[in-house]
Amino acid sequence: MNTASCVLPIYRDRMGGGAYGNELDANVWMACDEEASAVTCASPWHIQMVIMLIGQRQLRTSQTLGLAAMSEKGANPLTKSLETIGSGALFALRVITDAFRAPFELFYVCLEVADQGWGSLPLILSSGLALGLVMTLHTRTELIRFGASAWIPAIQSLSFFVEIGPLLAALLVAGRVGAGMGASLAEMRATEQIDAIEALSVDSFKLLVVPRVAACVLVLPLLTTFMNACGVFSGFLSEHFLSHISFQLYIARAFRGVEWSNFIPPTLKTAVFGFIIGTVSCFFGYTTNEGAEGVRRAATNSVVVSSVLVIIADVILVKIIFFMFPESAL
């Protein structure tokens, strides 16, 4: 008879039975069993020594975990922030490298494109229609005062194409898709689904993170185009009911001063916004380890951090567009 089969019942009796004895830490028991492998069950003194070894192991384990928790709570906020920034940068670099490394999960990318794009389309369309109507009502009064009512379609289209459409679409996607990605990955981490995937020798990062980021990069320029179209169309509806302008005349005036540099670069910059939203959201969801509280924190941080980074990136990208197209950029 081995030592484990003799000592475990006696140890449970000493601890009073119940859940504590039944949930003996497997790692502690294996370590103690290795040290007591030469002990026989013939002597009660030997059994007492094994029980003492188990108690000492558990005491050292609890002390180590307590010190780790205290050090984490007492860490410098600046140090934690810099560590998070560095981890996020390495996470983004890994996303870029894994995106061009086989195998390519095209099926999961298509699923994410359908989920993110089709699920966000009603929000994008309704927001574009509402904002277009409101913008027309606000600008029309002032332009008529200066006799510039003919410029209402051009101002409406340029406002959406250059800045309002790309930035608003990115913020809306960050609120809906970003929170969803962060919460779903955090829940999978909390319920050990990611660990189960890795136990099957599957790269969980490439399966769960890369398709989500790639889909966000592909979807956001399309959603921006839909928002621009809705903004221009709602502006036409408002002007048609107020001044009875025809659709052909409105479209001709709307695109009269629009050049390709006013539409293509601002729309393509949303791909950078999509990469930021997908990477930040997946980072907070994939790296969490705090259970239910981690799910809540991952969803909140995904929206807040990605929205702030999108605004900062928008300022930088606008400067780059001005530098590349100094004569036609607005």
Residue 31 lies in a domain: yes
**Are 85 and 67 in the same domain?**
no
What percentage of the chain carries pLDDT values higher than 70?
A: 76
**Are 135 and 265 in the same domain?**
yes
Residue 330 lies in a domain: no
Report CA-CA distances (Å) from 209 to 156, 185, 285, 296, 324.
38, 9, 10, 19, 33
Q: Do the Cβ atoms of 330 and 162 come closer than 8 Å?
A: yes
User: Which amino acid is present at 81?
Assistant: S
Q: Report which of residues 296 and 57 the model is more confident about.
A: 296
**Are 58 and 192 in the same domain?**
no
Residue with tokens 């302008």, as numbered in its chain: 245
> Phi then psi for 279, rounded to 5 degrees?
-70, -45
Q: What are 144-185's pLDDT values in tens digits?
A: 887 777 888 888 888 899 889 999 999 999 999 988 898 889
Span 277-294, average pLDDT: 87
Is pTM beyond 0.85? Reply is: no
Residue 282 lies in a domain: yes
Q: What is the rounded distance in angstroms from the CA atom of residue 145 to the CA atom of residue 193?
A: 63
CB atoms within 10 A of CB 269: 23
- Largest Cα–Cα distance in the chain? 106
> Considering only 120-129, 248-257, 299-308, which range has the smallest mean pLDDT?
248-257
Span 31-55, average pLDDT: 50
**Are 92 and 69 in the same domain?**
no
**Are 135 and 35 in the same domain?**
no
**Are 129 and 257 in the same domain?**
yes
Q: What SS3 class is residue 12?
A: helix
Residue with tokens 């990115």, as numbered in its chain: 170
Residue 54 lies in a domain: yes
Q: Which of 11, 38, 73 is the last residue of a domain?
A: 73
- Domain containing residue 25: 3-73
> In total, how many domains does the chain have?
2
Q: What sign has the CA pseudo-torsion 28, 29, 30, 35? A: positive
**Are 294 and 214 in the same domain?**
yes
State the chain's mean pLDDT as an integer. Answer: 79
